[in-house]
Structure 1
Amino acid sequence: MAPPRAKYSIAMVFGPLALSAPGVAFGQDSSGADVGGFRVSLALDVDAYLDDNVYAQRDGGVTDVYVRTSPKLNVKKDTSRYKFNLGGAVTRFDYAERTRENRWDRNLNAGLELEPIHDTFVRGRTSYSFSHEDRGDPNNDASSVSPTPYGLWNSELSLSRELGRLKMNLDGSLQKYNYRDTARNDGGSINNGDRDRTTKALRSRLQYQFSPGYSVVLRGEWTKIDYVTDQDDFGIQRDSTTWRGTAGLYVAITNLVTGEVFAGYQTRSYRSGALRRFSSPVFGAALVWSAAPGTKVRIAADRRIEETALNAAKNYVITTLEVAADREFGKRLSASLGGRIGRNDFLGLATESLSDIARKDTLYSLDATVRYKLPRNMAVGLSYALMRRNSAQSSLDFNRNKLNLSLSWRM
């Protein structure tokens, strides 16, 4: 198995708070056309990339140009009794020279929101996506001929209730991962079936406003992961149960600052007696600051336990911090600038805390984008992204630069 690649995302902070799908947000107001009582919207994104390190390697970085094309369809119904959303997207990657990187990704999603009684909402969502792991993913095997494909079924159900100053949320989710085997450069095959798993989760949230613009927030989360195979290719039984609890402060100071900061504790136990229980503090934030008219600054942080299929590592803990700023210059021109830092702490089989880990990787990222709106619901954009990884094992270090020219259309 190849060395792990650093990975993190702001979605780990915002993702659990929203019922959304890639490219299509549940309940989001959008342009479109009325067809038979439904609101139908279409979108097309075409991106041309220059990537100077396609395989995210330390030495001998391979440069290539590729085009990413993604048409999207969204059908929406919004009434006083319910909201319904159905969407889908297909994404094609075409490389100029490294044609084995060519691939199709796709997703389908559906959502329903009901308000059976006043201030009580029931929301459900289900989706299926077929995707490929990025070459920089922690679990990527560098010896594979092409990116690893996998399917993901995701179903979520939530109940929310407001009673004056008190807001209550309870939601559950079920995810099923199915990985396909990939060919190896030497002519062999990589078995990815030992990564297939089912993840069940229950999450609760209580928010009480004790003063205008200020609320205390309590969260609890239970996650159970069951792998299809009893042991992976390295003889490790990876089934686990995680408990996570946090307390935080939610602020909504007029239009100046909104969001939440929190801290707490998490612990994971394993079905296998050979794997030691792991515990660590957790913390995070998801804040939006309206620094000036047309300018927003976003701050996000989180710490979570993630899965890995690597030998001698039972999991890894990902700690992230991201700061991004968006600025609008009139009605047509906008720009954004963001920076991220993340650290992956890989847990050895006997690791019990972050004071004793098998390996550390740190990833730095910087990106900048300029976007200009054209007539007829079109827009063009130019962006640059820099990614750098520093590892305790210097052979895993890499730098990666991407330049992107984009064209988008919405109906």
Structure 2
Amino acid sequence: MARLAKRSLCWEIAALAIVGWSGSVLAQTPYGTAAPEQRYAPPPGQDFQNPREAAAENYNPPGVRVGSFLLFPTLELDEAYTDNIYASSSQRVGSFIQLVNPSLQLRSQWGQHALNFFARGSFGFYSADATQNYQDIQAGFDGRYDITPESNFYGGATYTRAHYFPGTPNAVIGPFPVSIYNQYTANAGYFQQFGRFRARLDGQFDAYDYLNNGQGPNQGFSFNSDFNRIELRESLRIGYEFLPGYEIWTRGGLNQRRYQNNPDSSGLFHNSSGFEVVGGFAVQISTITSFEVFAGYIQQNYVDPAFPTISVPTFGLTGYWSPLRQLLVKPYIRRTIDESSLSTASAYINTSGGLDVSYNFLPNVRLDGHADYSVADYQIAVGEQGRYDQYWTIRAGVTYQPTPNFFIGPSYQFIHRTSNQVGLDYDANQIMLRLGAQL
């Protein structure tokens, strides 16, 4: 089982290296280009805990036993204020925002196999403009069926209703209703280990269905109905553990992106196919360090001759470093080719990097920090003006738990965007007070 636990951690980090920004993750703040939710496993337990470390663990929610599962319910009520709800330099409007974030997680506690269910929501209500209100939800499951200690099947499915926060790459600019979409995701894969060699075959399906928000080519965006599509991904990864905890690997992948409306309202075809070839290095050192780095090449080919082929190097880093039990550092770097909602752009090259840090200052007081930098390099149709946006985000917060079942704390976030196009620069400040209960 020790080998299985270590292998599961390696898959988890590998999955993070594959995934770029994803609309399937419900954001916890109204703005920002924060990294996707990162599901790192904590470092394995140490043989000895001093009283401070043991007390800190006592503030983790114990969950509710439901047969052979543990149920973790959470309800969070936040009050926030931002000074720029439209992420605009010319129409700067401040607003209070009431946020309601419920969630449920049901995790199996089996010695073999795994099955987890989850449901979460994020509901925002703006005092200054109700058109910015949102009701995001996500529900799904994931699991693993262990055939032998060296092989298993895994998979899952998720339904997401989400929206683009103002100021993010695919969001409309100005006092317009938010863009809402439904996303249906399913994935399945097979893992096999042969001695020191490991192989993983993976497939993923995503279907996007957008609600009309009244914007179109006159505002520089595709009609939302033109953005409906299906994306398919297939990949094969082969690795070799040359020393315990040290693995080199290579991965090849294909993708197909098929749009519902071809051509779209502007007479353009957005269908495309692409591939990637990458190699990486994964390390798990004792109880304090686990990371993975990779680099390679990605290419996306478009049906419409107006859209140039995108061929760029790709690279990434994911991991955690825990030099002290109270401290956890999570860096990330990634580059992907993401679809664009601009009427004149096929996609944008998304390059981002950042760092999350958490520190248990006291057993029931945690300090959190986040910083990231990202670039959205839009691949514009032939004859159109290019667009290049840069984002900086800084966030800090404190969480205090008077008991293991309640938490409260303030946070602050600053975001700045610069663009090579006039009128697209902006910055936004947000302060928030979080209040939550968990079991």
Cα separation, 2, equivalents of 1:38 and 1:395: 52
Equivalent pairs counted in the alignment come to: 394
* Match of residue 32 from structure 1: 63
Cα separation, 1, equivalents of 2:17 and 2:192: 20
Richer in strand (by share): 1
Conserved 8 A contact 2:88-2:174? no
Question: CA 1:130/1:24 → structure 2, altered by over 3 Å: closer, same or farther?
Answer: farther
Conserved 8 A contact 2:17-2:317? no
1:385, distance to aligned residue in structure 2 (A): 0.8
Conserved 8 A contact 1:13-1:301? no
In the alignment, structure 1 residue 44 sits paired with structure 2 residue 75: yes
* Match of residue 16 from structure 1: 19
Greater shift, 372-381 or 124-133, is seen at: 372-381
In the alignment, structure 1 residue 241 sits paired with structure 2 residue 269: no
* Match of residue 301 from structure 1: 333
Question: CA 1:119/1:285 → structure 2, altered by over 3 Å: closer, same or farther?
Answer: same
* Match of residue 296 from structure 2: 264
Cα separation, 1, equivalents of 2:322 and 2:108: 32
* Match of residue 6 from structure 2: none
1:231, distance to aligned residue in structure 2 (A): 1.6
1:45-97 per-position Cα deviation (integer Å, ceiling 9, x unaligned): 11211111000001231100111102222333343453222221233212222
Conserved 8 A contact 1:225-1:239? yes
Question: CA 1:364/1:52 → structure 2, altered by over 3 Å: closer, same or farther?
Answer: same
* Match of residue 310 from structure 1: 342
Q: 1:88-127 residue pairs with structure 2 within 5 A? A: 88-127=119-158
* Match of residue 7 from structure 2: none
* Match of residue 264 from structure 2: 232
Q: 1:7-406 residue pairs with structure 2 within 5 A? A: 13-14=16-17, 16=19, 31-142=62-173, 145-183=176-214, 191-350=223-382, 358-406=386-434
Provide the secondary structure at the position in 1 that maps to 2:416.
Answer: strand
1:388, distance to aligned residue in structure 2 (A): 0.3
- What's the TM-score, normalizing by structure 1? 0.87
1:241, distance to aligned residue in structure 2 (A): 0.8
Cα separation, 2, equivalents of 1:273 and 1:383: 47
Question: CA 1:333/1:268 → structure 2, altered by over 3 Å: closer, same or farther?
Answer: same
Question: CA 1:376/1:266 → structure 2, altered by over 3 Å: closer, same or farther?
Answer: closer
Conserved 8 A contact 1:389-1:399? yes
Greater shift, 32-41 or 282-291, is seen at: 32-41
Question: CA 1:302/1:152 → structure 2, altered by over 3 Å: closer, same or farther?
Answer: same
Cα separation, 2, equivalents of 1:12 and 1:239: 25
Conserved 8 A contact 1:24-1:87? no
Which sections of structure 2, spanning at least 5 residues, go unmatched?
1-12, 27-36, 43-59
Greater shift, 88-97 or 236-245, is seen at: 88-97
Provide the secondary structure at the position in 2 that maps to 1:314.
Answer: strand
1:118-151 per-position Cα deviation (integer Å, ceiling 9, x unaligned): 3212112111111122112322223664211110
Cα separation, 2, equivalents of 1:223 and 1:269: 10
Cα separation, 1, equivalents of 2:268 and 2:396: 42
* Match of residue 5 from structure 2: none
1:173, distance to aligned residue in structure 2 (A): 0.6
1:36, distance to aligned residue in structure 2 (A): 4.5
Question: CA 1:219/1:381 → structure 2, altered by over 3 Å: closer, same or farther?
Answer: farther
1:234 partner letter: S
1:363 partner letter: Y
1:245, distance to aligned residue in structure 2 (A): 1.3
Cα separation, 2, equivalents of 1:241 and 1:230: 15
1:313-348 per-position Cα deviation (integer Å, ceiling 9, x unaligned): 121101111123221113111112221111111112
Question: CA 1:205/1:31 → structure 2, altered by over 3 Å: closer, same or farther?
Answer: farther
Question: CA 1:184/1:165 → structure 2, altered by over 3 Å: closer, same or farther?
Answer: closer
- What's the TM-score, normalizing by structure 2? 0.82
Provide the secondary structure at the position in 2 that maps to 1:396.
Answer: coil
1:238 partner letter: H
Q: CA RMSD in A?
A: 3.0
The percent of aligned pairs where both chains have the same amino acid is 24
